[in-house]
Amino acid sequence: MIEFVLHPWRHRVPDNRRLFWITPEIEAAQAYHRKRLEDLYAGKPVSGLVALNGRMYGHSHGLWGTNDPDPLTQPSAWIDDVLSDMVANASETTDMKTFKPLLAEFDVFGTHYIDALFGAKVYFHEGQVWSEPLGCDMADITMLELSKNEVFVRSVALARKVVEVSQGRFFISNPVLSCPINIGINIFGDKLLWGLVERPDAAKHALRIINDVILECMKTFNEIIPFKQHRTGCGNSRYAPDGFGLIDGCATQLVSAKHYSDFFAPLDAELLGAYVNGGMIHLCGAHAQHIPAWRKMKKLRSVQINDRAADDFLLYAKGLRHDQAIYVGPTANTPMSKILEVARTRPVVIQADAPA
C-alpha cells in the first residue's frame, strides 16, 4: 500500500499572506483617518486638514495601462504582487497627517471594464488601455447575462480571493464601473451624442441597458466585498467612508445642462442609490454647467475634481450643498493656498500630502 505524505512546506501560506506586517501602528493610523473621514461626511467638526494621498499597490493596473501579472488569468500572482508592494511600503500607512489607505485595487481594464463586459475589443497598447466601439446599433443592444460572461465571472472570482486573503484587515476596491455617458461613448462613439438629438428613443434604450449592467455589477461587488472593507475604484485618492460609492462623470462636459438633466442625471442618481449612503462623482473637464443638477441630487455626497475640473474649484465650492464634500488637489490654477482658504468654511478633502 502506498502512503502519501503531505509535506507542510508545500502547503505553507506565503509570509506576506499571513499579514504579520500589518502592525498595531498601521491599524491605529488607518482607524484614525477612517474616523476623520466619517466625521467629515457626517458634518461633525474635524480638526486640521483632511489630506488623502495613498498608493496604488502592485504593478498591474488597468488605469496605468499595465497588465503583468494579469489579474484575471493570474489571480494568485497578482495578489502576491500587490501584497509584496504593500509590505515594501507599509511604513507609509502610519502617516498621521495624510491618509494613505491600505487598499487592494483591481482596476481590471481600467476605465474600459464595462466595455469589455459588452464584448468590445479592449487591449493594452503603449502604456494605455484602448477600446473599440461595438458594431451594433444603439437600438439593438440587449441586457447581458453576466453569470455567463467570462470577464465578469473571473472578476468575481478575483474579488472573492482577495476578500479571503485580506482576512478583513485591509480595504478592497471594485473595478471601475464608470457611468452611462462614458460607456455609451466608448461603445458607440459619437453616434450616442448625435442620438441624443436625432434618435432619442434609441439613445435612451442603450443608456438604460448600460445602466442596468453597471447596477448589476455594483450589486454583486456590494455583496461579495464586506461592507467595512469595500471601497470603490481609485480608493487610494477617492476614499470615502463605509457605504459610499463612486461614478464617473468625465464625458458630461460634452453635453448641455438640458441634455444631462433629460438623459443622464436620472441614471447617475440611480447608480448612486445603489449604495446605502450615496456616493461621489469624478470630474476631470469643464462640467460647471451641471452644478445645479448635482446640487439637487440627494444621493450625491461628494465631488472629486482634477485637471481642468479643478480650475472651477471655487464654482463647485459656491454652487454645491454644504454637505457635499469636494476632493481636490493643488494645480497651477488652484494653488494649495486657495484650497486651504475654502477648507476653513466647507468640507474639503485635499488630494495631496498635508502641508508641513
Q: pLDDT tens across 195-244, in order?
A: 999 999 999 999 999 999 999 999 999 999 999 999 988 999 999 999 99
In contact, 132 and 120? CB cutoff 8 Å: yes
Q: Specify the pLDDT at position 30.
A: 98
In contact, 301 and 279? CB cutoff 8 Å: yes
pTM: 0.95
In contact, 177 and 233? CB cutoff 8 Å: yes
Give burial (CB, 10 Å; 0-12/13-18/19+) of 110: buried
Alpha-carbon span 259 to 198, nearest angstrom? 13
- 25 — phi, psi (to 5°)? -65, -40
Give the chain's domains with CATH numbers.
8-350 (3.20.20.210)
- Over 80: is that where the pLDDT of 10 sits? no
Percentage of the chain surpassing pLDDT 70?
96
- Over 80: is that where the pLDDT of 11 sits? no
Q: pLDDT tens across 131-168, in order?
A: 999 999 999 999 999 999 999 999 999 999 999 999 99
Rounded to the nearest integer, the mean pLDDT of the chain is 95
* pLDDT average, residue stretch 38-51: 96
Q: Specify the pLDDT at position 346.
A: 97
> Which helix (H) or strand (E) segment is 189 a member of?
none
- Over 90: is that where the pLDDT of 347 sits? yes
- Over 80: is that where the pLDDT of 8 sits? no
Q: pLDDT tens across 253-286, in order?
A: 999 999 999 999 999 999 999 999 999 999 999 9
Q: Specify the pLDDT at position 12.
A: 57
